[in-house]
């Protein structure tokens, strides 16, 4: 039971303040474009925001030109998120009471009420964006984690409607710090938050077949077992995005949050998908994995997933210094 409870707590970072109305100043800040670094191949636009930890904050395509990434606070976005060590009560040091006790949880977007620091964010070539981020610990208002996140975001060769993302996480904790030695912990690979109108969840079964997945609004999130490590979210109009994460080893977290079907990236309601891996993350661990996002209709996405599964289904995450 304890293990299941821990998994249920994953991916719920965004909701400490989601019951309150989002301040207009925050909404306005989310809509600024000067910090957005976009890569556009004529079919898909993918973007990192320098002011939001260089997380992915923009995804759109020809048939869905609006941004479908929910970016209302540092816990949303499409981003790297990791867990390690013991769950600690640090409320005396300013830890949020809503997130206490909590494990060591570096977040690419940032901590409660603050965005992570970006040390590099640039376009490498016409196919790739590169970023380095010093993440923050989710449970604290403004505490940088002893870690570094690197990310390469681009397009799958020969597939203009497929985004491929390579993630690298380097833990730099002291060996004898308060969170303790390496522990076998669940990891979000990655954490994805989309606009609430992408509310129809489906697991891909292969050969063009899909399975509907249903879950009432959370958190806690539902658990899905996509057999080919691919799950999609669709709008009522039939446009969707699939996440293919072959390194995932555990049931995926998924579900809607809030009501309605808003397409506003700055709204509180959203939908969530997170493939889960479980690794023995230690103080000096380095962890790497890749995932893909495919956009389009069910038929278009299925055709791309067939090719991706055939090519990458055996790919695993890589952990050194556990």
Confidence band for 34, pLDDT divided at 50, 70 and 90: confident
Measured CA to CA, the distance from residue 271 to residue 289 in angstroms comes to 23
274: CB partners within 8 A, 6+ apart: 10, 11, 188, 189, 190, 191, 192, 221, 252, 253, 254
Collapsed DSSP state (helix, strand, coil) of residue 218? coil
Measured CA to CA, the distance from residue 142 to residue 104 in angstroms comes to 14
Partners of 208 in beta bridges: none
- Residue 278 is encoded by which pair of tokens? 């479980």
pLDDT tens, residue by residue, 55-80: 999 999 999 999 999 999 999 999 99
Query: Is residue 112 predicted with pLDDT exceeding 60?
Result: yes
- Residue 180 is encoded by which pair of tokens? 């303790």
284: CB partners within 8 A, 6+ apart: 171, 172, 173, 175, 321
Domains of the chain, CATH where assigned:
2-320 (2.70.98)
15: CB partners within 8 A, 6+ apart: 75, 219, 257
Tell me what pLDDT residue 22 has.
52
User: How many residues belong to the chain?
Assistant: 322
Tell me what pLDDT residue 264 has.
97
Better-predicted residue by pLDDT, 17 or 41: 41
The DSSP annotation for 234-276 comes to E-TTS-EEEEE-TT--EEEEEEEESSS----TTSS-EEEEEEE
How large a percentage of the chain has pLDDT more than 90?
Answer: 88
Measured CA to CA, the distance from residue 105 to residue 313 in angstroms comes to 28
For the chain, the average pLDDT equals 92
Q: What is the mean pLDDT of residues 138-153?
A: 97
Q: What is the mean pLDDT of residues 174-184?
A: 96
Q: Among all chains, which residue has been given the structure tokens 């009560």? A: 89
Confidence band for 31, pLDDT divided at 50, 70 and 90: very low
Nearest to 116 by CA among 97, 99, 93, 140: 140
Tell me what pLDDT residue 279 has.
97
pLDDT tens, residue by residue, 261-290: 999 999 999 999 999 999 999 999 999 999
């Amino acid at each position: 039971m304890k293990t299941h409870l821990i998994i249920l707590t994953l991916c719920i970072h965004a909701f400490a303040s989601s019951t309150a109305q989002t301040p207009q100043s925050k909404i306005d800040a989310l809509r600024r474009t000067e910090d957005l670094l976009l890569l556009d191949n004529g079919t898909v636009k993918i973007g990192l925001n320098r002011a939001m930890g260089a997380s992915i904050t923009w995804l759109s395509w020809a048939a869905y030109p609006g941004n479908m990434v929910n970016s209302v606070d540092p816990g949303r976005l499409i981003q790297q998120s990791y867990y390690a060590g013991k769950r600690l009560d640090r409320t005396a040091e300013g830890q949020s009471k809503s997130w206490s006790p909590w494990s060591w949880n570096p977040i690419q977007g940032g901590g409660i009420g603050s965005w992570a620091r970006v040390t590099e964010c640039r376009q490498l070539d016409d196919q790739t964006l590169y970023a380095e981020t010093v993440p923050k610990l989710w449970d604290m208002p403004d505490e940088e984690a002893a870690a570094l996140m690197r990310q390469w975001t681009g397009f799958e060769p020969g597939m203009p409607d497929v985004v491929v993302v390579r993630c690298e996480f380097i833990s730099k904790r002291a060996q004898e710090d308060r969170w303790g030695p390496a522990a076998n912990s669940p990891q979000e690979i990655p954490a994805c938050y989309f606009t609430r109108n992408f509310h129809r969840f489906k697991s891909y079964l292969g050969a063009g077949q899909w399975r509907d997945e249903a879950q009432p609004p959370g958190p806690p999130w539902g658990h899905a077992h996509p057999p080919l490590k691919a799950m999609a979210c669709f709008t009522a109009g039939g446009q969707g995005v699939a996440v293919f994460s072959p390194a995932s080893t555990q049931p995926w977290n998924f579900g809607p949050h809030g009501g309605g079907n808003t397409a506003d990236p700055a709204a509180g309601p959203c939908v969530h998908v997170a493939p889960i891996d479980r690794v023995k993350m230690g103080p000096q661990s380095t962890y790497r994995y890749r995932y893909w996002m495919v956009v389009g209709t069910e038929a278009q996405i299925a055709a791309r997933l067939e090719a991706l599964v055939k090519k990458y289904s055996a790919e695993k995450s890589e952990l050194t210094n556990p």
